[in-house]
Structure 1
Amino acid sequence: MKIQVVAILLFALSATEICEALNFFQKHVVRQMAAGDCNTKMRVINKQGECKSINTFFLDPTGVLNGICNHGNKIPTMAIDLTIIDCKHDKTYSQCTYTSVPGKATSVTVLCDQNNVPYHLQDVKRAGRK
């Protein structure tokens, strides 16, 4: 009986880790996205009925960001050259509508948990901005 309980707890913990990673990647990493897709993508993120003011999506078709937490650093920064789309809330409308702002990212910083799973986008350095 003890073994079954331990197995169930381990399964639940690993499922939580997978969900956290999927949540980070679902919120910020896509293989492809058109600039006009912000409203559709943000509907998934705005589940609580609130309109998030901005969200950055990395267009990462080759999986560059997949191993960002694998170096044992809890706040890793990675040099990248990826296209991004910032979805900015258009506050002139009462609904959650977004304007797309395409750009290029030169580095990204994320927060990683103790199991090297990314859970938060901390910072994005954009090309042409200081």
Structure 2
Amino acid sequence: SLRKSSDMKKESQFGIGVDIEDIGRFAGLRRTKDGPFLKKIFTAGELDYCFSKKNAAPHLAARFCAKEAVVKALHGVATLSYTDIEIVSSRKVPRVVLRKGSPKDYRAEISLSHSGGMAIAFALVRTR
């Protein structure tokens, strides 16, 4: 059944996004050599997490995918820089923190995976 538009306004609005990347694009990156490039995309916390791993590339790729997926989910609603979107790993579950310059009334949920040389992320962004 159809709902009245006044009822729909009370519900949360949401957007979805997905991104997939070849992990090989991130394989040659080094924190010292590629620092300026990496700092345009990743926060210090994300870089600490990724480079604490034996192989940083899958973790960098997955986080990049997550940022792209969030940007796609917010398409037409908000404009964020990559560093306004931070992927925080707590208790093995990644979560999204929308930083300065981002809308405070949105919440993003993500799912990340990497396997077979590819990384993928899905994002669901809802109004609070």
Q: TM-score range by the shorter chain?
A: 0.3 to 0.5
What TM-score, normalized by structure 1, do the two folds share?
0.33
Give the TM-score, by structure 2 length: 0.33
Whose Rg is larger? 1
Larger RCO: 1 or 2 (CA < 8 Å, sep 6+) = 2
